[in-house]
Amino acid sequence: MPRPTRTPWLTIGISSAFVAVLVVALSGCADPGGLASPSASVSVSTKPSTATASAGASPGASNTPGATSPAPGNSSKPTATATATAAPLSGTAVAKKCLDLVSLQSMYNYDPNFGVIAGYVPTAKTAGANALAMSGVACGWLQQSSKITIDLAVARPSATSLTALNATAGTATASGEHFAVSHGVGVLQRFVGPYWIALSSTAFATPADARPLMSVVMGALA
């Protein structure tokens, strides 16, 4: 018996239907929504970038574990402090008393109106106070009428104290005297052997006003 002949349109229809089914099947394997492919996700590095890692650190901060930044306003650098002070005055005791240095007669010869001040205590930071700091002697006389005082300071300074006293005494004259007037008080100083002698008074306008008493003191120490 002869085989029936297939019509061309039927073959075409079957082929088209097969292609459609294949397309639908393949479309079910695609990533819906356009998600990135696995190759793209692998290329993303999980290591923080340099910019990200340093974003939270303050400029100049140490990256060492456990290190802490100094508190604001507190510098770890020590601050130099210039607190040098002059060495305290020192010396050897003077084996003389006020009346040994200037007797009553000697003061009477100078001015009969001056009398010894009993229990005399020199004012702080004066020549008399410096003499006591060096184990020396400080004496005072008072004129009864005018209330003018004369102050005497005698000491045997240590080498260091002698240098300090010389530095503040001013330039010496040819005779070795140091004289200056400060706030109306004239001060005559002499350095004789191991001794430092200072006479102070508002009555001393010139060195000549104090020289008679200075000569008496120098003679007592000779």
Write down the pLDDT at residue 58. 43
Write down the pLDDT at residue 206. 95
d(CA 118, CA 116): 6
d(CA 214, CA 187): 11
Q: How confident is the model at residue 47 (pLDDT cuts 50, 70, 90)?
A: very low
Phi, then psi, of 11 in degrees rounded to 5: -65, -40
How does the average pLDDT of the chain come out, rounded? Answer: 75
Write down the pLDDT at residue 169. 92
Q: What is the pLDDT of residues 64-84, one digit of tens each?
A: 444 444 445 554 554 444 445
Q: How confident is the model at residue 170 (pLDDT cuts 50, 70, 90)?
A: confident
Q: What is the pLDDT of residues 198-220, one digit of tens each?
A: 999 999 999 999 999 999 999 99
Cβ–Cβ under 8 Å, residues 122 and 128: yes
Which tops the pLDDT comparison, 175 or 17? 175
Q: Whose structure tokens read 């430092």?
A: 196
Write down the pLDDT at residue 174. 85
Q: Which residues, 6+ apart, have CB-to-CB distance to 217 below 8 Å?
A: 101, 102, 152, 154, 197, 199
Domains of the chain are 91-221 (3.30.200.100)
Amino acid at 27: S
Q: Is the pTM of this model over 0.85?
A: no
Write down the pLDDT at residue 35. 34
Give me the mean pLDDT over the 149-156 stretch: 98
Q: What percent of the chain stands above pLDDT 90?
A: 58
d(CA 219, CA 109): 15
- Dihedral angle of Cα 174, 177, 178, 179, to the nearest 10 degrees: -110
Burial 127-160 (b: 16+ CB within 10 A, else e): bbbbbbbbbbbbbbbbbeeeeebbbbbbbbbbee
Amino acid at 3: R
